[in-house]
Amino acid sequence: MDDDLEGMDRDTLIAEVKKLRAGIRAHRDATGHDLCWHHPDLWELLPERTDPAIAVPPWPKFMRGCIRYRQSLDEQAPSAPEHDKEFNG
C-alpha cells in the first residue's frame, strides 16, 4: 500500500512528511464547531483515492454519540475555554 515511498528520494520524502504533518496539525487544531465535522481533507493526504463508504447512525444514536463526545471533552480538557457561538454552516 505504501510502495510509492520506496521510489521517493530524500527531498520528496521530507516534502511528504511536511504535508502529512500539516494535515495532522490542522485536524489537531480544530476547535469550536469544527470539532464535530467529517474531515475528508485529511483522507485526501493519502496517495490512494477511494470513495469512503461511511455509515451514518440514525439521528437518536448519532445525537447520543455527539453528547458523549462533548462529555468526553469535559473529562479530557476540563480547562478548555468555552466557544459560545452558534454554528453558521
Task: Let me know: does 22 contact 10? Beta carbons within 8 Å.
Answer: no
Domain assignments of the chain as residue spans, ordered by start = 3-49+56-76
Q: Which are the contacts of 38, defined by CB distance < 8 A and separation ≥ 6? A: 54
Higher pLDDT: 21 or 89? It is: 21
Calculate the CA dihedral of residues 68, 23, 26, 78 and round it to 10 degrees: 40
C-alpha cell belonging to residue 38: 467529517
Residues 24-57 pLDDT 10s: 999 999 999 998 888 889 999 999 988 888 899 9
pTM: 0.78
* Mean pLDDT of the chain, nearest integer: 94
